[in-house]
A and B are shown apart, each in its own frame.
Chain A
């Protein structure tokens, strides 16, 4: 067999099979007048969100990025609901950020993070579907010479009862495309929803079961070269020199190039050959100012911050916590810590770029297409309207591919040195592990005061540690304060209780939550769940410690503080009831633990059942989880997000720590940075309990309750409290 033939076939087949109408040429239509020719669709669009082909296929444009969280299907459900189309005819495509730019951001925000895919776009996305439906009706009305108001759209059919006329959406689409978009179309009442709220199967599953889905890492373009890269292993360091001559003669090697001031790449015919040459390439680094940084040094700085008054910002306060604590009948104190953790998406960072003197094109997995475009344009030295980015299905995002476009920048900087040739950059796993933007390190010191009846009268929570915004988005700081640090413990709005999506739910009469900002020179990043995760460990473990000190039941103790938060109380009660809280435990279970949090606009609770063997081996028996996200667009997808959140959250809680030595990361791969395995995964029972009326996120909120529920269950089982993560290498074996 001729391998070249296989190559051509699988390239063409793969791309067209999975990427629908997307164009993958070097000729992007750099034309502002794309209104009726976007995304390579031969059929004119009805509006920016909807194309209906003559065969009735409905193409729904999705601006946000699918990375496994189901947003592609959920957003399509929103459009299809209003469009009144036949769901079995629905397909999707991504417009490019370049098209968005050319069309005055008709698709608005491409950013996909903070569990915002649906909740910050549901209104205009639904409006896109509703408007397209009305345009189809208006087209039919004009053709049939009947009032549009008498036409009913359902299941992709337009029908006029009185005249007996009907037409499919496909038949009317061309006419609808030239109708002026009506304004102010009314959205459906949630009680009339037929597709939203239903457990529709995902639209993108089939090609994930047969290897056909083309990820960015799989892209192959004619004449493409491959690049392997190594950046300075020390944060803040740079390249001093490298000896390209030593590897230039190795098989397949084409170029050895410096990338920015801190990285070197080898470009070869295949990636494996590029990597072999990179491994053999002598590079001298200037380690820079952080070469002595270590985990121990970072811990010392954070420990100092636990009691310092220097660089302290108040995030939430009421009453007078200090006085309440000094007058308390009993005070309880505990210090917790959460380490650096890496996203470790299973698909490593990658991007393919081609650069010429007048334009630049990039193909990549990205959570923020517009961010990728900006990064590409900057690295290319071209205006954004001379560049474009083609988004791919993402092999895991978790926040790594949103705010951080380092891999796009690098790919363009490499491509720029090989003009006109597409170059695919793939990071090795080692590069991914050591060049991350890590879930920041913080510690939490909790001091609580109880009165003589065991009521919580005061609480001081001191967070000491790193601020993401001060590094990633300093303009988001509020007089120096990083509000992200207070996610999950922020002040509530008593008038509008859903106003702050990350508010602390407990009502505590005298409260002080503050942050001693300590920023080690390790790049921090948004990591699925962000600071809610650390704060949930501090608050929810401490709730159990307080309840124990007060001699009260952990559920009853919490509920007593949730009088103003019935939705928070409801998720907590739901998991407790399902697991028979307060009743004897199932065979083999030794301890139960609870946790509850409100984040990304949703209320989540978890209950864990565990046992610990005589020699300290932990076993997770069962998890019960409840989520109230207001509206629930797809309950099955929510259940999948909840299940996955326990894998992600418990993997971190049990196993994961990025340690720092000599200014760089010690862990290099999954052997030293283990993830949760299927064998460790308990049964998960998910309660989806949407109470309606608002739109909460679901991709992240459950992560936070995973760790504290398990830590509380371990404490209940053993009487011993683990206060620092990960759980491994302590009294407990995992």
Chain B
């Protein structure tokens, strides 16, 4: 039985300790906003926050997360889509199919928490998420908009 702190609530799950956190979130905790894209920590679709750091949930076993660590998923980023990144995403119509976007938004939110005024180089290195629809131009613009910084690639 694993104890987890997810989106501000303590939950208990009964799974094999080696189960990736991604599948615990999706299948045990019914938080399907965190997506499966590769399962090998290569695409970023499953990005969540653990103690504020962007983390790929497919790559960590549920047993390696403690009850003290705070897990936040896209569902818990804000109660009403009011996080500045979410607002910028909506205002700039960033998503296409949307499948990568939970991971994109969680990665961007963690970046801004760490670097409130990111440069394009910061964005380049943080935003390594795969988007097959190709929303990158707008992802970059929306991060700048949320941060109030200027876009040298705009």
Contacts and interface: CB of A to CB of B under 8 A. Distances in A.
A1 B10 CA distance: 7
Given A679-B125, A681-B136, A205 B93 contact: yes
A678 to B, nearest CB: 4
Contact of A678 (B93, B139, B154): B139
Nearest to B40: A669
Contacts of A347: 35, 37, 97, 99
Contacts of A67: 97
Contact of A671 (B27, B42, B78, B90): B42
Contacts of A426: 36
Interface in A709-724: none
Interface residues of A, number: 71
Nearest to A636: B93
A583 interface: no
Interface in A336-363: 344-348
Interface in B117-133: 123-125, 127-133
Most buried by A among B13, B36, B132: B132
B134 A396 contact: no
B51 to A, nearest CB: 20
A288 B12 CA distance: 48
A150 B18 CA distance: 71
A68 interface: yes
B33 A1 contact: no
Given A11-B30, A678-B127, 5 more contacts: A215-B99, A395-B35, A644-B135, A675-B132, A679-B125
A277 B9 CA distance: 31
A429 interface: yes
A398 B12 CA distance: 40
Interface stretch (A50-58, A304-312, A645-653): A645-653
A220 B153 CA distance: 41
A648 B20 CA distance: 30
Interface in B19-55: 19-20, 23, 26-40, 42-43, 45
Interface stretch (A2-10, A158-166, A509-517, A600-608): A2-10
A478 interface: no
B127 to A, nearest CB: 5
Contacts of A7: 30
Interface string A61-75: 000000111100000
B33 A220 contact: no
Contact of A393 (B90, B98, B130): B98
Contacts of B81: 206, 209-210
A40 interface: no
B98 to A, nearest CB: 3
7 contacts: A208-B98, A214-B32, A215-B99, A346-B43, A396-B133, A648-B133, A678-B136
Given A211-B73, A211-B74, A271-B27, A675 B130 contact: yes
Interface in A469-496: none
B75 A346 contact: no
B100 interface: yes
B135 A208 contact: no
A643 B138 contact: yes
A3 B20 contact: no
A210 B93 contact: no
A644 B36 contact: no
B10 to A, nearest CB: 7
A346 B93 contact: no
A218 interface: yes
A209 B90 CA distance: 7
Interface string A246-279: 0000010000000000000000001111001000
A68 B40 CA distance: 24
Interface in A396-412: 396-398
A374 interface: no
A69 B96 CA distance: 6
A234 B124 CA distance: 38
Contact of B74 (A14, A210, A226, A348): A210
Contacts of B99: 68, 215, 345-347, 395-396
A3 B28 contact: yes
A394 interface: yes
Contacts of B29: 3, 6
A678 B140 contact: yes
A211 B100 CA distance: 10
Given A68-B98, A346-B45, A212 B132 contact: no
Most buried by A among B81, B98, B137: B98
Closest 8 CB pairs of A and B: A211-B33, A647-B134, A68-B97, A395-B99, A644-B134, A208-B98, A68-B96, A211-B74
A9 B135 CA distance: 31
B105 A10 contact: no
A208 B95 contact: yes
Interface in A634-684: 636, 640, 643-648, 651, 669-671, 675-679, 681-684
Nearest to B152: A683
Contacts, number: 205
B132 A683 contact: no
Nearest to B103: A346
Interface of A: 1, 3, 6-7, 9-11, 14, 67-70, 201-202, 204-215, 217-218, 220, 226, 251, 270-273, 276, 344-348, 393-398, 426, 428-429, 636, 640, 643-648, 651, 669-671, 675-679, 681-684
A640 B94 CA distance: 9
A13 to B, nearest CB: 10
B11 interface: yes
Nearest to B137: A643
Contacts of B35: 215, 217, 346-347, 395
B77 interface: yes
B11 A3 contact: yes
Given A346-B132, A640-B93, A678-B136, A213 B98 contact: yes
A393 B93 contact: no
A676 B132 CA distance: 8
Contacts of B40: 429, 669-671
Given A396-B132, A647-B131, A669 B96 contact: no
A678 B124 contact: yes
Given A14-B32, A396-B132, A429-B39, A206 B97 contact: no
Contacts of A209: 81, 86, 89-90, 94-95, 101, 105
Contacts of A644: 96, 133-135
Most buried by A among B13, B19, B75, B97: B97
A448 B138 CA distance: 41
Contacts of A393: 97-98
Contacts of B96: 68-70, 640, 644
Given A643-B134, A679-B128, A684-B137, A208 B23 contact: no
A676 B73 contact: no
A204 B93 CA distance: 9
Contacts of B28: 3, 270
B56 to A, nearest CB: 12
A234 B90 CA distance: 44
Contacts of B27: 226, 270-272
Contact of B97 (A1, A394, A643): A394
B154 A683 contact: yes
A210 B86 CA distance: 7
Contact of A346 (B11, B34, B37, B39): B37
B9 A1 contact: yes
Contacts of B42: 669-671
Given A211-B32, A272-B19, A679 B124 contact: yes
Most buried by B among A273, A670, A675: A670
Contacts of A429: 37-40
A276 B37 CA distance: 17
A571 B70 CA distance: 53
B133 to A, nearest CB: 4
